[in-house]
Structure formats: C-alpha cells, structure tokens
Amino acid sequence: MADIEKTEGGAEEQQQPAQSPPSPPPQQQQQQRGPRGARRRKPSDAPENAFEGGEELMEKVVYINRSAKVVKGGRRFNFSALVVVGDKKGRVGYALGKAGEVADAIRRGGELARNQMQPVSLKDATIPHEVYSQYGGAKVLLRPASPGTGIIAGKTVRSVLESAGVKDILSKSLGSKNAANVVKATLQALLMLRTREEIYKSRGLQIKKVETPKAPGAVPTA
C-alpha cells in the first residue's frame, strides 16, 4: 500500500511510489552485452597464440586423424592433430596432440609444439643454400629463390616454411605424402642449413672483406 502523509492544512496526501528509469530498447541492450555467446576477456588475459614472453606465434594445423576403439557400448573415437608453431623469425617446432575432442587435441598439440621450437638459419627471406632431406619414405628438396618468388611448395611443406619465416623458396616433395613424415623431413632440412658466418666461425676463420674494384682511369689521348 502507498504511504499516506498529512500536509500542513490537515489534508491527507497519497505518496506516489518511486518510478524506475525506463529500460533501454532491446537493440541497445544487445549492444551493451555484446554478441550472444561471446566470451568477455579480461585485460590481463593474453591471446591464444601468444608466447610466454609476449611474442605472437603462428600456429597451423597440418593434419587431423580420427581413430576408433570398439567397446561394449559401441565405438569410442580419439583424435590426433599435427600442429606446427613458429614465430616467423627463424624458430619453428611441431607436435602431435591427442585427445577425445578435436579442439583439445589441437590445443595440446600447440602447447607441445611451443616447447619444442628450434632455431633455423635463414638468409634474409630465403635459405642460404640448397638442401635435401629424407625421413622415412618422405623426401624434401629445398632451394633458395630470388626476392619476389614466393613459397613454391605444397600444403604440408608450406606450413613449416611459413612458420619459420621463409618468404622466397623453391621446394619439391619426393616420395611419400604422409603428413607427419613430410613435416619431419622439412624441419630436418631446415636444421641442416648453415650460413656463411656460422661455417667460418666453426672453422676458426675470418671472413675477408672484398673491396669493390675501382674504375680504371681515363686513357690519355695522343
């Protein structure tokens, strides 16, 4: 019931209840809440592809395999994801994550690949020299290319080269097309690369600076 107050003249006056502010229209409420299903990220949260030091990494899923196990109640499925991770600055790694769900398998593979990243030797945007690698039935040939060539490679080899930071290269996959063996052969080939400075340093030599030849002087005329 509404409260009743007496005024100075003795007349009774009914007090009106306080009115709540009008609610915004539904469209404005949706804009304030954000899209349905969106997760609000705290300011302290780091992006999913960020490294511990704050460096963003490139993560690529190369292959997803499904295996089934027959049990009494039916079949149980298990998934394995081959993930390649790199910082595009000369460090790359791969791992195989296994779980009962595809998302969990990819997440585990990415975490393992971050811990297994290895540095590779690059020369600007390409590789310093030609290299050939073989792992199991997979054979990979890599050759340096001039600027502007791009990455001439298949899907599996391309994922490793892009994660490592290579932009100009010629490649050829020879032999087996098994994704796991091709990734291992490509990474093995990148680990075999050595720059000129590294070779000279391992041999205890110093690189001699070659002076540019000077233009010959003018020939006196008779």
- Domain of residue 76, CATH code: 3.30.230.10
pLDDT of 35 reads 44
Q: Using an 8 Å Cβ cutoff, are 63 and 81 in contact? A: yes
User: In angstroms, what CA-CA distances link 158 with 7, 150, 154, 185, 191?
Assistant: 86, 10, 6, 13, 16
Residue 25, domain member (yes or no): no
pLDDT of 204 reads 87
* Separation of alpha carbons 104 and 98, rounded Å: 8
Residue 171, domain member (yes or no): yes
pTM: 0.68
Q: How many CB atoms lie within 10 A of CB 103?
A: 10
Residue 201, domain member (yes or no): no
Residue 200, domain member (yes or no): no
pLDDT of 36 reads 45
HSE of 115, CA atoms in CB hemisphere, 13 A: 8
| Owning domain of residue 188 | 58-195
pLDDT of 145 reads 93
Largest CA distance in the chain: 134
Question: What phi and psi values does residue 87 have, to the nearest 5 degrees?
Answer: -100, 5
pLDDT of 219 reads 57
Residue 186, domain member (yes or no): yes
How is 165-189 classified by DSSP, letter by letter? Answer: T--SEEEEEEE---HHHHHHHHHHH
pLDDT of 23 reads 57
pLDDT of 30 reads 46
Residue 35, domain member (yes or no): no
Digit-coded pLDDT (tens) for 89-104: 999 999 999 999 999 9
Q: How many CB atoms lie within 10 A of CB 7?
A: 8
158 token code pair: 């391309």
Owner of token pair 């969106």: 38
DSSP summary character for residue 54: S
One digit per residue, the tens of pLDDT, for the chain of length 222 reads: 445 454 454 544 455 555 555 655 555 554 444 444 444 333 333 334 444 445 688 899 999 999 999 999 899 999 999 999 999 999 999 999 999 999 999 999 999 999 999 999 999 899 999 999 999 999 999 999 999 999 999 999 999 999 999 999 999 999 999 999 999 999 999 999 998 888 888 888 888 877 777 777 655 565
Residue 17, domain member (yes or no): no
Q: How many domains does the chain have?
A: 1
Sheet holding 169-175, edge to edge: 131-135, 138-144, 169-175, 151-152
Residue 127, domain member (yes or no): yes
